[in-house]
Structure 1
């Protein structure tokens, strides 16, 4: 039991920032106490919620928090695939497969797991946009088939969907609502995934402010962002 928990916690820490929520089609609440969501963890201004997925034993997760950062910094942080190995624990490989523009890209990501668990990998399609009226930035990422052949001994993640909803609320101050749902594949029990569902998101979001201060994320511009 302990070994299973250790394995999945490491997997979750590696995958959480870029995992996702399939309930987004029903709406993207920004209320810090959203209806229908159960509060799983609240600490240091970071709130992690969950709710059951229809016709599934898995749960969707929402993270709500505020961070000291600018919109371009956070956009650069999320879309800077080439720097994932520096900011994401246990990332073995991460690279852009095709960058359509600064608002759309396809990328590959692989996470290492301790023996005897297998590594996980995934191919993702990321789309970034901004609402011209509200200024809210949306970053959606979904797994896609193909593009990179599956590797022997590596489990291809069968489902990974996410959305960032980013709103500037003050000078260098952002409100973030992040939604995700992920099926890591393989033989990790669903009950264990659900039992640890709050731990990894909290860990990842507690480090955002530290990471966005890195040189790569400074003074960045994006064509779809409006003043």
Structure 2
């Protein structure tokens, strides 16, 4: 369908609509595309309305958390706020999920698995295990067409769980100059967040995440707002699903407690 419209897709589909239906049914393709265009206009207007609502909520409310998601069934709540002097929103997540602490931490600091659970992640790989409490890994994320994809190198630092603190703390920050830039991909300069993992039992945790990502000032407000609304929440869902099915990676050991 996308090829019928003549749009370019960065990560192309394997077949076109004509490959499936054949030339004979071209008129049906045109009818479907007309319906798609009607729906597309509706979605675009809705997105515009969302941005207008976001603007009204944020106007005069700098540095105030605004709730964007309250999923009681899955135990996930999300907020954002627009801070003075920052190009994009800071985000926050509180979640209670049924996964073990160490398996979750390994998925976060190991690096390789991000492409399996992080929102729109195209590639991820561990670059270096610095120590039992530190790692460096590469991350590449899909960005809506026509804008270039983004990547960065993240440094993860572990503050192990202790009975005194009652939690495991993971801190992440970008090292944009650690490796050469990739042609056609924009290197994100700011990618910072902190995750606190509090074990509730051997099989469940409370996760508190707060972070800030600046994907670049070339992106319009609607694209950034869309990413900030969807990425944190969707990533937590993906993380929970991944940990439940994958288990602990025995090849890379870190000190979590």
For normalisation by structure 1, the TM-score amounts to 0.75
Corresponding residue of 1:112? 142
1:66-145 superposed matches below 5 A = 66-113=96-143, 115-132=145-162, 133-145=164-176
Secondary structure at 1:207's aligned position in 2? helix
Which residue pairs with 1:41 in the alignment? 69
Partner residue of 1:18?
Answer: none
1:15 is matched with none
Structure 1 unmatched runs, 5+ = 10-34
Tell me if 1:65 matches 2:100. Answer: no
What CA deviation, in whole Å up to 9, does each residue of 1:65-106 have, x standing for no partner? 100011111111112212223333543332222211231011
What does residue range 115-194 of structure 1 map to in structure 2 within 5 Å? 115-132=145-162, 133-190=164-221, 192-194=223-225
* Divergent runs of 4+, >6 A: 218-221
Q: Which runs of 5+ in 2 are unaligned?
A: 1-39, 48-62
Question: Would the aligned equivalents of 2:153 and 2:175 in 1 still touch at CA under 8 Å?
Answer: yes
Query: Against the structure 1 CA distance between its residues 75 and 64, is the aligned structure 2 distance closer, same or farther, given a 3 Å change threshold?
Result: same
- In the TM superposition, residue 199 of structure 1 has moved relative to its aligned partner by 2.3
Give the aligned partner of residue 86 of structure 2: 56
Q: How many angstroms apart in 1 are the aligned matches of 2:256 and 2:235?
A: 25
Which fold has the larger relative contact order, with Cα–Cα distance below 8 Å and residues 6 or more apart in sequence?
1
Change (3 A) 1:115 1:60: closer
2:135·2:157 contact (CA, 8 Å) conserved in 1?
yes
Report the secondary structure of 1:151's partner residue: coil
Question: After alignment, is 129-138 or 212-221 more displaced?
Answer: 212-221
Q: Which has the higher strand share?
A: 1
Q: Tell me the number of residue pairs that the alignment of Structure 1 and Structure 2 aligns.
A: 197
TM-score by structure 2 length?
Answer: 0.67
Deviation at 1:167, TM superposition (A): 0.3
Q: Greater helix share, 1 or 2?
A: 2
Q: RMSD of aligned C-alpha atoms?
A: 2.9
